[in-house]
Amino acid sequence: MIREVIIGVGVALTIFLAFFGVNVFPFLLLTAVLVALSMMVDRKGIATTGSKESAVAHRIDFQQIGGQENAKRELREALDFLKYRDKIKSMGIRPLKGILLTGPPGTGKTLMAKAAATYTDSVFVSASGSEFVEMYVGVGASRVRELFKKARSLAKREGKDSAIVFIDEIDVVGGKRGSGQGHQEYDQTLNQLLTEMDGMQTTQNPFVLVIAATNRVDMLDPALLRPGRFDRQIKVDLPDREGRLHILEIQTKNKPLADDVDLDVIAKETFGFSGAQLESLTNEAAILALREGKDKIHLQHLRDAVDKVLMGEKTGKKPTEDELHRVAVHELGHAVTAENVRPNSVAHITIAPRGNALGFVRQVPENDAYLYTKEQLENQIKVALGGAVAEELIYGNRSTGAQNDFMQASHLARTLIHCGLSRLGIVDAENLQKNILDEEIRRILAEQEEETRKLLASYKDRLESLSNYLVDRESMPGEDFRAWLKGKSDIAQREVAATTA
């Protein structure tokens, strides 16, 4: 309305000025720019609200969620309360109002909430806890009110009799009330949320179900977890190997894979990856393949993508030729030790600088292990020290490149001690005297270092020649490395030829 008046006056004024011989061109130009700007703002506004409201635009169903079999089953069971709520009502069962999804980021909680909307044929509206937090008191509370109102009106408009309100990062508003740096604004927002949930009835049409997500359930105000509120908690954990395979299959469905790709190999090598990281891995692999002008994604692309997701993009760092040789020797030291203490454990060796690392040996995790024995921990210490020990063996000195390795090794030694696996026996970790702890860490490291040195000494000459090869090639798959170790590869043959010549 106001806009129309301004435009009208503007046009009149321009004509008036032009009539008196004023140069109106700059005005016209300015007007054109302003109009263009305001149109852009409009467009953006529509896009952001539109993408959140429309339930049809992104129909996600449970089949598009890999792994998470338990979580999916529990969620479906809970949703059946909503789906068959007439029956539930006739049995006098209290309706389910809230479901809380807990777990680390990128494991598919948002996907689950969307799939829940599809499964129950509900409309889907969402907001994130951080959106409710503003400087002005009361804004958060009124946003919560609006969110629920929006859910109801959207359901009516689309002719559905239920709505799902998804609140991501609920810990931001649902933290313990009045505790610590408790903030009045957060409290009001939380109170409003509880009020909305308490007011919901089964008889209400449309029925509203709240699904919330957090990775910090311990932080939540207990009032949220009371019966009649979020009384279902479903854990959405990092996927296990089978789950990772399933996710990789889903994420590569639309991508051309070469015959040499065995997704199970990648699933095995990606312990600890979330669904989101696996998604990013498949995407990166496709980009790498494209960059190389290939029309299919090969195993090597997927492996490089694992490195990239773990370590970041290759950096522009350009080590000197000498440094490259040293890095190669260092990484091979890790790799030879790893294969010796745990055969078939080396997945990939690379000396391309990524993130903060100059090189890196990726190991196959021990079958998704959650418990380690003393021997396994000691072996991991050897692998961590292998880099520095190899440098010393070949160059007679060490470099700063092993700083991280030493931190890792000391951490492992500490774990040994705290778990009662050291010579100190069972200890009270909290009251252990610092000098005794330090002494024992030093002893463990020295012992493992000595064993690693003995092991690598027998590889001295071969390490040198393989490092030349690695400097040429930049990276090496685990299989090639094992073939070399067993003296069965072309590289080994060449080595033999060179020494006999």
Residue 333 binding target from Zn ion, ligand ADP, Mg ion, none, CB below 5 to 8 Å by type: none
Catalytic status, residue 366 = no
Residue 212 binding result from Mg ion, Zn ion, ligand ADP, none, given CB thresholds of 5 to 8 Å by partner type: none
Instruction: Rank residues 245 and 341 by Cβ distance to ligand ADP and give the closer one.
Output: 245
Site string for ligand ADP, 231-260 (x = CB under 6 A): ----------------x--x----------
CB of 73 to ligand ADP, least distance (A): 14
106 HSE (CA, 13 A, CB side): 14
Confirm or reject binding of residue 199 to ligand ADP (CB under 6 A): no
107 interacts with ligand ADP by CB under 6 A: yes
Q: Is 190 in the site for ligand ADP (CB under 6 A)?
A: no
Minimum distance between the CB of residue 88 and Mg ion, rounded to whole angstroms? 29
Residue written as tokens 């993408």? Answer: 51
CA distance 117 to 113: 7
Q: Does 140 bind ligand ADP (CB under 6 A)?
A: no
Q: Rounded to whole angstroms, how far apart are CA atoms 482 and 335?
A: 10
State which residue has the least CB distance to Zn ion: 387
Indicate which of Mg ion, ligand ADP, Zn ion, none lies near residue 405 (CB less than 5 to 8 Å, by partner kind).
Zn ion
Q: What b/e sequence results for 47-73 when a residue is b if at least 16 CB atoms lie within 10 Å of its CB, and e otherwise? A: eeeeebbebeeeebebebbbbbeebbe
Q: 3-state class of 484 per DSSP?
A: helix
Piece of the chain touching ligand ADP by CB under 6 A; list 103-111, 220-228, 265-273, 442-450: 103-111
- Nearer to Mg ion by Cβ, of 110 and 274: the residue is 110
Question: Binding to ligand ADP (CB under 6 A): which residues in 202-221?
Answer: 213
Query: x/- binding map, residues 356-395, to Zn ion, per CB under 5 A?
Result: -------------------------------x--------
Regarding 100 and contact with ligand ADP (CB under 6 A), the answer is: no
Binding residue (CB under 6 A) for ligand ADP from 67, 333, 353, 386: 67
Q: 160 phi and psi, to 5 degrees?
A: -105, 155
Give 407-450 as a DSSP string. Answer: HHHHHHHHHHHHTT-STT-S--GGG--HHHHHHHHHHHHHHHHH
- Residue 270 near residue 242 (C-beta atoms within 8 A): no
Q: Which residues, 395 to 434, sit near Zn ion by CB under 5 A?
A: 405
Of the residues 279, 331, 392, 495, which is catalytic?
A: 331
Long-range pairs, 158-162, Cβ under 8 A, ≥24: 158/55, 158/123, 160/121, 160/122, 160/123, 160/206, 161/205, 161/206, 161/207, 162/82, 162/120, 162/121, 162/122, 162/123, 162/206, 162/207, 162/208, 162/209
In eight-state DSSP terms, residue 397 is S
Residue 278 amino acid letter:
L
- DSSP E strands: which ranges in 133-204? 162-168
Q: Is 99 in the site for ligand ADP (CB under 6 A)?
A: no
Of residues 101-120, which lie at the interface with Mg ion (CB under 5 A)?
Answer: 110
Give the binding site for ligand ADP (CB under 6 A). 65-68, 105-111, 213, 247, 250, 275-276, 279
Q: Which residues are catalytic?
A: 331
Q: Interface with Mg ion by CB under 5 A: which residues?
A: 110
